[in-house]
């Protein structure tokens, strides 16, 4: 398959994830949509690595996976802390930064 097909799929997934981040209100689902966007970037990176026949893009994709795992850990920790403090699990309700 031509590389352009992979890039088109990657663009589709990225835009679905971006629309999800903007529309959904549950922070868990917002985190899932961020995962979608990171995975779309990963697909584009691996496709470009195949295009050049060079392994550097795959290393970049692995590092992106590490960063995504860190982001998930911190985000889920925040959600658990919100739940413990009896805060609403809704990004529209959590508008104040004042702690």
For the CB of residue 29, give the shortest distance to other proteins in the complex, in Å: 5
Structure tokens at 44: 């584009």
For the CB of residue 74, give the shortest distance to other proteins in the complex, in Å: 6
For the CB of residue 1, give the shortest distance to other proteins in the complex, in Å: 5
C-alpha atoms less than 13 angstroms from C-alpha of 58 in its C-beta half-sphere: 7
CB atoms within 10 A of CB 78: 12
Restricting to residues 34-93, name those near other proteins by CB under 8 A: 35-36, 39, 42-43, 46-47, 49-56, 58-59, 61-63, 65-74, 76-81, 83-89, 92-93
Restricting to residues 3-22, name those near other proteins by CB under 8 A: 3-9, 11-20, 22
- Rounded Cα gap, residues 65 and 62, in angstroms: 5
CB 16 within 8 A of CB 36: yes
């Amino acid at each position: 398959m031509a590389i352009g097909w992979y890039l088109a799929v990657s663009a589709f997934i990225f835009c679905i994830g971006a629309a999800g981040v903007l529309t959904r209100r549950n922070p868990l689902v917002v985190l899932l949509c961020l995962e979608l966007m990171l995975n779309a970037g990963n697909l584009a990176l691996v496709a470009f690595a195949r295009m050049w026949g060079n392994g550097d893009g795959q290393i970049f994709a692995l590092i992106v996976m590490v960063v995504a795992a860190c982001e998930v850990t911190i985000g889920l920790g925040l959600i658990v802390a919100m739940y413990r403090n009896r805060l609403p699990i809704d990004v529209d309700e959590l508008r104040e930064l004042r702690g």
